[in-house]
Amino acid sequence: MGYDMLLSPMNIGTMTLKNRTVMTAAEMSLGQTDGCPTEKMIAYYEERAKGGIAMIIPGICRVNDMGAASTFTQLSMSHDYHIEPMRAFAERLHKHGAKLCIQLHHPGRQGYASSINTLPVVIPVVRRFPKVLDALFKCTPLLLGLEEKGICMSVQSPSDCELSAHGATRIHAMSTREIKNLIQDFINAAERCKKAGVDAVELHGGHGYLIQQFLSPNTNLRTDEYGGSFENRLRFLREIIEGIRERCGRDYPLIVRLTADEMYDRIGKPGKGYGLEDGKRIAKRLEELGVDAINVTSACYDVYNRWLEPTSYEPGWRAYLAKEIKSVVSIPVIAANFMRSPDQAERQLEEGYQDFIGSARSFICEPHWIKKIEEGRPEQIRRCIGCLHCISSFMTNAKIGKSGECALNPGVGLEPYYEEPPKDGACRRIVIIGAGIAGLAAAEILLKRGFAVTVLEKEEMPGGQINTAAACNLKGKLSWAIEDRLAVLDALGAEIRFGVKVTPAEVKELDPYAVIVATGAEPIRPASILGSNLPHVFTPPEIIHRETVIENKKVIVAGSGMTGLETAEILNETGNEVTVIEMADEIAPGTWFQLLDDELERLVPAGTSFLTSCELMRIEKDSVTVLDRKEGKVRVIPADAVVLSLGVRGDKKLANQLSGEFDRVFTIGDAVSSGTIADAVKSARACCEGIR
């Protein structure tokens, strides 16, 4: 397939983009507390500029430090001292032909008071004494704890509306004076961007942040000139746009990121907020006000999975939103639409859904997305699988002073080393045993360093446990993690042998400099559970791969991690009455909430039952016995079949055999401890760093 439209130039206002790609904003906590970009941040975005992205919109940028903060290390254009660091940032991207657009943002009710209230005090100190930053992050858990107890000050909102699902932060309705001052903050920040040589600014009017809160009748309950009617709800955004136009000129490119549909109907709340028809009406008014482009998005934090989708969603599922907006405006339309491949991108451009292809996660995962297309190797693009590790890691790491990650790209935030690694391999042979994601990730890193790599796999195909995960309903995209790496490994010259039952003697024949054991893990059947080996007791892979099909039975699934829930979903399809039991006090403890919400949307309507605080003690022919920890009593539950989803145990047999035979033996992935795809890739990265 050709990519003529994708690679063609197009204007946004007076600005010409060299192709149709826009890296949309996704906060990764790469900045510093005073709001200036770090070298780490600049290198991260510069790599995407080198990779051919036409315009880059970094993560959220605050317009003041008193009420507009969302994280401790986001960008800021709240003071004149931000101008020169931002100029240096822009110049680094301009060297590679990329444009820089800064997204001006205010979180409103979705801010963390612990961030907002701390920054005005901390920033002056940090700018004078940079080492104070370390102390700040040590205090973060305390600040968050105070916030949860309601001790921190409240954050700004258009009105005293209900809290979002974002957290425990209290909110207060903004006074007219606060609104007027904040409008000036947006205008001042835009002017600083222009002075810094930033090519464009974007106003974030989506995802439930402050501008959208003014637009939505769900969150804007004001009765003054900033609430009530459509025009009054638009007034806050209109006055910001008019002020930027007056201060920066009509020719300075201005974009609005707009939630076209709040999508409350998707979670069973029709009539709440605003829908697509109102979104189209807003878009038309924005064009009339002189906005140069609209970046179409959807939903808000209350409807999280409709703007930041998990794996189960189909690429392009919300492309219709962009097409509807495009039907009522003549200015360019940018949209993400869960973009995952260049074929999808070209098709949506050709069919008129949008003018620019927006994505954050695809370009986090693959910084050289466009470069690989231009060089005729699109099959080597590392496709984002929608696992949400980027957002979950960011939300976790931001609280401890670390940046977000990507499950498949171990080089995020480490671009200078991982994109141009030292060529220190000297063709020394590395033998990797196991062609799951950990083994293949290690192979790629080592090949790029100049090692010779041989991968030995006992099965006739690669993938390991990803093959099981990808066989679950709506999770087929997980197989991309293997397919795409194989394409890269083939280009790098890896040798992969399948169907090999590895022995120490066979490894010795290869005379390796080092051996990496990535033999994965096997499901656990705990001996402590009486009856765990009975013939009607199964493990998840048997059900997921449809090796065993259970129909119209009472089935107990022990363990409510994602594997257990995905197994329950498959069992529901064949008429079973499924009960999931969990020893912990909640379902899927430690699971990122979006993944759990996504799974429950299918499990609950199917009639799945859940029992928490219940420990499986015994399995018998027609029942299970559990200890109900809440009630402090034993219960007997009827069961025709049982599935034990109680984790996996690393296969260390070969590693133990090899450790006495070779000087350098490393064990990675599930063979060390069970975890996610991200855990496997991180363990591969750490292992490779130790091979010198």
> What positions carry a catalytic annotation?
209
**What residues form DSSP beta bridges with 15?**
12
Show the DSSP H helices in 478-591 as ranges: 480-492, 504-509, 540-544, 562-572
Half-sphere exposure of 615 (CA within 13 A, CB side): 12
Distance CA 346, CA 344 (A): 6
Tokens of 299: 């939903």
Tokens of 182: 């904040």
According to DSSP, residue 586 is labeled S
Taking residue 139's Cβ as centre, other Cβ atoms within 10 Å add up to 12
Distance CA 495, CA 377 (A): 20
Q: Which long-range contacts (CB under 8 A, 24 or more apart) does 667-670 make?
A: 667/516, 667/517, 667/518, 668/438, 668/439, 668/442, 668/516, 668/517, 668/518, 669/434, 669/436, 669/437, 669/438, 669/439, 669/464, 669/518, 669/520, 670/436, 670/438, 670/464, 670/465, 670/520, 670/521
Q: Are 88 and 42 in contact (CB under 8 A)?
A: yes
Tally the residues of the chain.
Answer: 692
Region of residue 476 (left: phi > 0; alpha: psi -120 to 50; beta: else): alpha
Taking residue 11's Cβ as centre, other Cβ atoms within 10 Å add up to 13
Show the DSSP H helices in 78-130 as ranges: 83-94, 113-128
Sign of dihedral through CA atoms 675, 678, 679, 680? Answer: positive
